[in-house]
Amino acid sequence: MVLLHADADAFFASVEQRDDPRLRGRPMVVAHEVVACPSYEARALGIHAGMATRMVTRRWPEVLVVGYRGEAYEEASRALFEVFHRYTPLVEPGSIEEAFLDVTDRDRGDPAGMAAALRRTARAEVGLPVSVGVGRTKLMAKLASRRAKPDGLVVVDPDTEARVRPRLHLDDLWGVGPTTYEKLHAAGLFVVSDLYGWDEERLKGVVSTAMARRLLSIAAGTDDATVRLPGPRRSVSATRSLPATRTRSKVAAVLDECIGRAVQRVTGLDDPPRLPARVEVVVRYDDGVQVLQRGALSVPTLDLGALTALSHDLLDRTGFEWDGRGVTMVGLTLPLPVAPTAPPAPTP
């Protein structure tokens, strides 16, 4: 097995720095009330996601703050995954900006060369730094990509794996939280090699059955290496941010644009397209609070007229015009049925 874990670096911040040259090379954060994503320049100062934005700007006045642009990140994600799919159809998304790729038998025996090509392509065509880890299992590939950051490539070959695996700290493994680690710690288990000689029955006395199995598979080197393809998308969303406003025509125009984009995306997913039966409209106010309204269509449809009528009705129900706060984001979600929509019954 040859797996790549490809992960865009400081994704939101990198998209902002790509789109605005004034942000490049500077400490900046994508943030509302709290920091969603600091640039690497900001991380170097000690800033991390989840910090209160006000505290950050008070302590580091040189840090630039930009708002969250969901639509720009969605578009960058789409372009990134388009690049991933050129190297293999076996792509398992971990989030909008990272994925496992199974390139077994596709890498011509040169996984490092393939990973480097992927990084170059993402940089040239999408304009983003993507770190890549190469390994035999998901754990190894992901540990490698973490080591590769920022903007690097790390290959864990079999020799490296044989050396590294026994020394992995148990609290560095995904899904091992502080509670679990404390229990392992109390049992004298700190690194993977401490698990040698343990069996499931004994380890179950320390942690849950699922955790015991997972840890023992990691110790045996038989941990997960299966790239799972995502199921059909359960919904399609389109959002756009706008300068804070209560003007009805401005908000409605942004909603119309979102409807158009969402319909286009649904149409591109399946042939024939699955038809939404419900619509969700969300508005976000300038204090970060979001309000969601849901409604049902009289029949499942992608008809623009029907979707527009219901969406505007839902927008009215948010009461944004009388709320007093400014609207800074409008979004639309179309939940989709799992199965393709049956063709209309023939008329007798």
Q: Which residues pair with 42 in a beta bridge?
A: none
98, 125, 161, 280: the catalytic one is: 98
Whether 98 is a known active-site residue: answer yes
Q: Which CB atom, from 7 or from 223, has the smaller least distance to Mg ion?
A: 7
7/41 with CB nearer Mg ion = 7
Q: How far is the CB of 152 from Mg ion (least distance, A)?
A: 13
Smallest separation, CB 14 to Mg ion (Å)? 9
Pairs from 322-327 (Cβ < 8 Å, separation ≥ 24)? 323/246, 323/285, 324/246, 325/244, 325/246, 325/285, 325/286, 325/287, 325/289, 326/244, 326/245, 326/246, 326/285, 326/286, 327/242, 327/244, 327/245, 327/246, 327/251, 327/283, 327/284, 327/285, 327/286
Burial class (CB in 10 A: 0-12, 13-18, 19+), 123: middle
CB of 258 to Mg ion, least distance (A): 26
For residues 34 and 17, is the Cβ–Cβ distance under 8 A? Answer: no
Report which DSSP code applies to 101. E
Closest CB 7 distance from Mg ion, rounded Å = 4
The total of other beta-carbon atoms located within 10 Å of residue 202's CB is 11
CA 348 vs. chain centroid, Å, equals 48
| Cis-peptide, bond into residue 272, ω within 30° of zero | yes
The residue (of 77 and 239) whose beta carbon lies closer to Mg ion is 77
Q: Which of 288, 284, 286, 295 is nearest to 333 (CA)?
A: 295
Minimum CB distance to Mg ion smaller for 146 or for 185? 146
Residue closer to Mg ion (CB basis): 97 or 223: 97
Helix (H, G, I), strand (E, B) or coil at 308: helix
Binding site for Mg ion (CB under 5 A): 7-8, 97
Smallest gap from residue 111 Cβ to Mg ion (A): 20
Annotated catalytic residues are: 98
